[in-house]
Amino acid sequence: MSDKENFVKDIANIDENFPQWYTDIVLKAELADYADTKGCIAIKPYGYAIWENIQNYADKLFKETGVKNVYFPLLIPESLLQKEKDHVEGFAPEVAFVTVAGGEELEERLCIRPTSETMFGALYSKWLKSWRDLPMEYNQWCNVLRWEKETRPFLRSREFLWQEGHTIHETAEEAMERTLKMHEIYAKIVEELLAIPVLKGRKTEKEKFAGAVETFTVETLMRDGRALQAGTSHYFGQNFTKPFNIKFQNRDGKEEYAYQTSWGISTRLIGAIIMAHGDERGLKLPPKVAPIQVKIIPIAMHKEGVLEEANKLKDILKDKFRVEVDDRSQVTPGFKFNDCELKGIPLRIEMGPRDIENGKCILVRRDTLEKKEVELKNIEKEVEEILDDIQKSMFEACKKRTEEKTQIATNMDEFEEKINKNQGYIKAMWCGKEECENKIKERTNAHSRCIPYEQEHLSDKCVYCGEHADTMVIWGRQY
């Protein structure tokens, strides 16, 4: 049996059992492990480094638009949660409460935050006095807890990491502008950092965030044709500012309620990277988000000068790239190659005594497994060009797969046949009735993903009931 066959024998076949393949990759690539707390995971250093790269990239974009970071309490009094009716109803099944502390029963239950609109609302009502205080545009990087019944690492853990932005504004127009600005920033993060094409649009009334006037979503399609919501931004209008009494003295000296937004992305983006790009060999990480962009593997390390030259090469590259030398002596070069592939490291450099003698090395891409012999004197330029090309090629490969899995349906028989044969996005007309939306889900297990900005006139009839329809919706089965 080959090294490769030995190495991946415990990883499920990606085409035969995609869910198990996903779990195997999370564990074998050392991204996370199951914790003793049911439904929760421990994120390991390699997985957390991916999150840090997402966090750093996103945080910079947020701050460039004037957003400031804060930190708010984990525990929320139940009375706060009850102030916005639709919100509390939407989250009620997922909320966990602290009832005993310090050995005594609490006078009021404390909710472990599933999201922080209510806490932000309570404090904004204290801080806001005048229109001169606006806008308040705050974000926090934190953990939240939602008591999910079915969990999967990164995609749906009970406790997960995210950022949640909460802003208040003087006018509805300014609040909507911020909502849409964050929508575009999320699209940029997913496309430019993670190399995953996005579908942008707004959610239907049924699928929007509890308590929102409008929810805008960035949707992605995974390798198996299931959709994953990558990020959402919500326009609340005054749905939260009124119950929380977030008022200010306007420019005319009169009291007025502010306008509010909320927006977030989470560690489920790590799951998106795994499922959008991975293959039978393991992870494929886009260079921009990869914790290690280049791994140098010295061949015949025991021979004089080999390890020293590998470290010299690292010193040349380290100021420009995230680079490591694999100097483990207890495993073979073949094991190291396979380990690089499993962990999705975009580029590996192989160099042995003969390569060093000839002033050359071998570059191997993770995305295509292509090998290229290059001269060491040109190494910086070659590495930069190849990493740039890998980032672009991974995006294009994902885009092509998404296009191949996007189909049109004009009636339910066609809808059902197409989503079962080639699972992915289904474009179909919709009359706007929630009843039809529910029936489509019952029959096909497909949810409305969004009402895309770019509307197409596919027919005059709703795909379910056959009545007049003006709206095209994109549907898909989801994670």
Cα–Cα distance, 411 to 149 (Å, whole number): 33
Q: Residue 136 — very low, low, confident or very high, per pLDDT cuts 50/70/90?
A: very high
Identify the pLDDT of residue 256: 97
pLDDT digits (tens, 9 = 90+) for 425-472: 999 999 999 999 999 999 999 999 999 999 999 999 999 999 999 999
Count CB-CB contacts under 10 A for residue 56.
11
Question: Residue 82's pLDDT band (boundaries 50, 70, 90)?
Answer: confident
Q: Which of 86-90, 118-122, 285-289, 321-325 has the lowest mean pLDDT?
A: 86-90
What average pLDDT is seen over the chain?
95
Confidence grade of residue 9 (pLDDT, cut at 50, 70, 90): low
Q: Across residues 384-410, what is the average pLDDT?
A: 98
pLDDT at 83: 80
CA 298 – CA 350 distance, rounded (Å): 6
Q: Quick one: pLDDT at residue 7?
A: 54
Q: pLDDT tier at 8 (50, 70, 90 boundaries)?
A: low
Q: What percent of the chain has pLDDT over 90?
A: 93
| pLDDT tops 80 at residue 47 | yes
Same fold, 3-277 and 294-389: no
Q: Looking at residues 53-73, what average pLDDT do you find? A: 98
pLDDT (average), residues 244-255: 97
Going from N- to C-terminal start, the domains of the chain cover: 3-277, 294-389, 406-476
CATH number of the domain located at residue range(s) 294-389 in this protein: 3.40.50.800
56 close to 313: Cβ distance less than 8 angstroms = no
Closest CA to 108 of 82, 76, 78: 78
Cα gap 283→291, rounded to integer Å: 12
pLDDT of residue 416: 98
Does the pTM of the predicted model rise above 0.85? yes
pLDDT at 92: 76
Please report which residue ranges of 34-116 form alpha helices under DSSP H: 45-64, 78-81, 85-91
Mean pLDDT of all residues in 345-370: 97
How far apart, in Å, are the Cα atoms of 269 and each of 228, 230, 272, 289, 333?
9, 6, 5, 11, 32
Residue 349: closest CA among 393, 309, 320, 397 = 309
CATH number for the domain running over 406-476? 3.30.110.30
pLDDT confidence tier of residue 93, bands split at 50, 70 and 90? confident
Top pLDDT among 220 and 82 is at: 220
Alpha-carbon gap, residue 374 to 364, rounded angstroms:
11
Domain 3-277 is in which class? alpha beta
